[in-house]
Amino acid sequence: MTESSDFRTTTIPLNDGATQIPALGFGTLIPDPAVTLSATKDALVAGFRHFDCAERYRNEREVGEALQSGLAAQGLAREDLFVTTKLWNSNHRPERVEPAFEASLERLKLNYLDLYLIHTPFAFQPGDEQDPRDENGNVIYDGSVTLLDTWRALERLVDQGKCRAIGLSDITLDKLEPIYASARIKPAVVQVESHPYLPETELLQFCKQKGIVLLAFAPLGHGMKPGLLEDPVITAVAARVVKTPAQVLLAWAVQRGTALLTTPKSAARARENFDISPLPEDAFDEISRIQTRQRLNDVVHTGRPGFIPRAKTT
Ligand SMILES: NC(=O)c1ccc[n+]([C@@H]2O[C@H](COP(=O)([O-])OP(=O)(O)OC[C@H]3O[C@@H](n4cnc5c(N)ncnc54)[C@H](OP(=O)(O)O)[C@@H]3O)[C@@H](O)[C@H]2O)c1
């Protein structure tokens, strides 16, 4: 990790030996298209250079538009950004991977990706229906494709120079280990829920040993209240270091060696969530000692996108 007096420019090297991932990432899981556009532009202006997308978020077009106009407005180049998107569960069959990747690229208005992730380790029935259900409302899984089959198809995208790195999301250590062992191109990044209530210590340790970056989503516990933002340890540290609870939680994540994703939706929050600096060691340790345990997303056990909020329809 590059050391600096603040975390705004902190980057972590990926195992391809060439790419650096900015520790502070902006997540684009935003159901409203207009908010996607404005929040993505605001994030770019605030200084975020790492953007996390997914075909499942159904807003890659808006993100692409915001990035294209934002880069031009700020005189930035594509190479100044680190952009990730994810392969959805209904595209796990190897022959569906490259078309899904190309469709994401087209929507994002990009000609390469920095990182492509398998969104969850669960293959759903292949097709354009992202959420296939049987007559009883149960998810229809696809038992004929393994995670390794899908991984091999991602490796071919790297071979073709279409993306610089590949990884997995919503994965547990027991599923990561066999992929790591069999992979010709090792996973560079693992994106999972992680925060002081779900530190994923064992997974983080494995990732550090193997040179994999752990990319934490929900570092603010999805902003749920009651929750992490109101935890007495977090609010006490925030008062002591004269930062907001959100800034303290984001700092803790970077300080323990993970990259993170956060989704501020206004310009003021984008500035707040980007203005992250190291915590004093005692404050960092105090947060690491929090004993509450809570997983907010069940997706690692089912592949079901329960975490994706539906846009309100009027
Ligand atoms: N791989 C996966 O399965 C998966 C799952 C979930 C998320 N993700 C990724 O992770 C990204 C981050 O999502 P997240 O929900 O984890 O984001 P987050 O930043 O941890 O939480 C967002 C929530 O926190 C609130 N918030 C943001 N900044 C705040 C601040 N400074 N003070 C107080 N509240 C604040 C937001 O409120 P407002 O809405 O009021 O602004 C929102 O309710 C997503 O966009 C997506 O890219 C991936």
pLDDT tens-digit profile of 153-184? Answer: 999 999 999 999 999 999 999 999 999 999 99
Q: How far apart are CA 260 and CA 274, in angstroms?
A: 11
Pick the atom of ligand 1 nearest to 117's CA: 1
For residue range 58-93, what is the model confidence (pLDDT) as tens digits? 999 999 999 999 999 999 999 999 999 999 999 999
| Averaged pLDDT, 11-21 | 96
What's the confidence (pLDDT) of residue 172? 97
Q: Do residues 2 and 37 make contact, with C-beta atoms less than 8 angstroms apart?
A: no
* Residue 1 binned pLDDT confidence (cut-offs 50, 70, 90): low
8: left (phi over 0), alpha (psi -120 to 50) or beta: alpha
Asked if the model's pLDDT at residue 103 lies above 70, the reply is yes
Q: Where are the alpha helices (DSSP H) in the chain?
A: 33-46, 60-74, 94-108, 147-159, 173-182, 201-210, 232-241, 245-255, 267-274, 281-288, 299-302
For ligand 1, atom 8: residue with the closest CA:
217
Pick the atom of ligand 1 nearest to 222's CA: 21
CA angle 173/177/182 to nearest 5° reads 155
Active site residues: 57
For residue range 272-288, what is the model confidence (pLDDT) as tens digits? 999 999 999 999 999 99
What's the confidence (pLDDT) of residue 311? 37
Which of 130, 197, 261, 312 most suits a substitution to test ligand 1, by most atoms within 8 Å of the C-beta? 261
27 lines ligand 1 (CB under 6 A): yes
Does the predicted model carry a pTM greater than 0.75?
Answer: yes
52 lines ligand 1 (CB under 6 A): yes
